[in-house]
Amino acid sequence: MTHLEIPDGVIPWPYLLLGFVVTGLIVLWASRQVPRAEAAARVPRVAALAALMVLGQSVPLGFIPFHLNLTVLAGILLGPALGVLAAVTVNIVLALMGHGGVTVIGLNSLVLVTETVLGSVAFTGLRRRLAPGLAAAAAAGVTLALSLALILGVARLAGAQPWQVIHVEEAGEEHGEATPEPAAGEPGQSIRTFLAATVPVFLIGAGIESAVTGAVTGYIARVRPDLLGLPGLR
């Protein structure tokens, strides 16, 4: 749910342009952080994580209208710079698949980039106090909560309604549920209604994603700690 699935025509063009400009600057920064000598060796890992993210964000969990983002896991395994490149690539692919409009690739990418970078930074800070699996799970939970707040902030700033930027209705239809569009009213009331309907689903989905991220990271820490920048077990 924390992937921003804005269709074309909802967000005014100045915000769309700003999204492309900011995303472009972030990609330029990220590309300069990777030494040329190491770039070729790291491409397979970026491609593998990007493919995993596309798969996770394309397949609903089934019992709730939520899909795994795996952005925090990508940030943990790739680091902030490579995580940015993977996140932007994933969002371009998702837009071409119909998960959000083409004109909002910039804004959509900013959400995924934020999750990837914050997840990587949070994990780095938490792993000094917690086991790798617990640190990853906590990083994912905190990051997804901040990402949801970012989505609502984008909606409010651009004058869109929350249900226009998070495609809850489509998810409900996929599961045979009729999810009515909230009635028009005061903006504050609309957001409160939206949160009341989506926060329980978000908490369940975020809990699942945190558990998956923690379990995968914990396993990698045992068998390939070097992938996490941790000292070997021997």
In a domain, 4, yes or no: no
Tokens of 79: 């680091």
Residue 218 pLDDT grade (very low, low, confident, very high; cuts 50, 70, 90): very high
Contact 76, 136 (CB under 8 A): yes
Averaged pLDDT of the chain: 79
Which of 100-114, 142-156, 166-180, 203-217 holds the top average pLDDT? 203-217
Q: For the ranges 26-40, 80-94, 163-177, which has the lowest average pLDDT?
A: 163-177
- Could you tell me if residue 234 is inside a domain? no
The answer on pLDDT for 212 being more than 90 is yes
CA atoms within 13 Å, Cβ hemisphere of 89? 19
Average pLDDT over residues 29-51: 86
Report yes or no: 90 and 58 within 8 Å, Cβ to Cβ. no
- CATH number of the domain residue 71 falls in: 1.10.1760.20
Per the domain annotation, does 168 fall within a domain? yes
pLDDT (average), residues 36-55: 86
Which pLDDT score is estimated for 188?
52
Region 42-56: mean pLDDT is 90
* Angle at 141 (CA atoms; ends 61, 23), nearest 5 degrees: 85
**What tokens does 37 get?**
């000598």
Domain-located, residue 233? no
**pTM for this structure?**
0.80
pLDDT digits (tens, 9 = 90+) for 184-200: 445 555 667 666 767 77
Of 125 and 38, the structure prediction assigns the larger pLDDT to: 125
Residue 234: pLDDT over 70: no
Closest among 194, 138, 135, 132 to 166, alpha carbons compared: 194
CB 85 within 8 A of CB 30: yes
Q: Rounded distance, CA 107 to CA 104, Å?
A: 5
Domain containing 156: what range?
13-228
Within a domain: 6: no
Q: Domains in the chain: how many in total?
A: 1
Residue 121, pLDDT score? 94
- Kindly state whether residue 7 falls inside one of the protein's structural domains: no
